[in-house]
Amino acid sequence: MNAFISSLLRPLRTIPLVLSAALLLTVGGATAFGGESGDKPLAGKHVLFLVADQFHDAETFFPLGYLAARGASVTVAGLAPGTVGAYNSNATIDVETTVAELEIDSFDALVIPGGGSPGKLRQDEALVRFTADFFNTGRPVAAICHGPQVLVTAGVLVGLEATCFGGMSDELEEAGARYIDRPLVRDGNLITSRLPKDLAPFSEAIAEALAGG
């Protein structure tokens, strides 16, 4: 295993077999994921993932691997440094830091996976404030499934089109957004998707936004 793959897998403690295969395919730049081996169009880009305990495994690992395979550097931040677990498998990931230790200008995009994680993240005032401030820079902010809960609490969705897990569509609209039931919705710097089956277009959209598309 080369140094790049080792560095990518270091935060991941236990990954179900199916996710391991998907992640390694992504790292390898498989054409099924839209990239050629050795192609690093996102080199020099820095992406921040916000993750807490009870995260959704695929909604975290798939975009993380997709972006890292294309050369982006990834930092995982959350409520406190340490290992947190997925709600839907025995997968875990290492949270490296908190937003209190980070500078917004150090990152080119922000990603919020779903699961039970966003419900915990939205209770942290500093993290919510960081998210709002990041969103207001105009840099890409991507959220999938329950991920938009953090953006609802941050108060940044007024007047925007977005999607999410169908069960929280009312909450999205109460926050001033227009809910659209599509696999991918982009509105300005906001990128949202609904479910794990939407992960391919979701990840592609983040990469396109980082590349300036």
Catalytic residues: 146
Is 120:56 a contact under the CB 8 Å cutoff?
no
Exposed, middle or buried: residue 53 (CB in 10 Å: 0-12, 13-18, 19+)? buried
Exposed, middle or buried: residue 162 (CB in 10 Å: 0-12, 13-18, 19+)? buried
- What region, left, alpha or beta, does residue 21 occupy, with left being phi > 0 and alpha being psi -120 to 50 degrees? alpha
> β-strand 184-187 against 190-193: which pairing, if any?
antiparallel
Q: Which amino acid is at 50?
A: L
Is 212:195 a contact under the CB 8 Å cutoff?
no
How far from each other are the two terminal CA atoms of the chain, in whole angstroms? 32
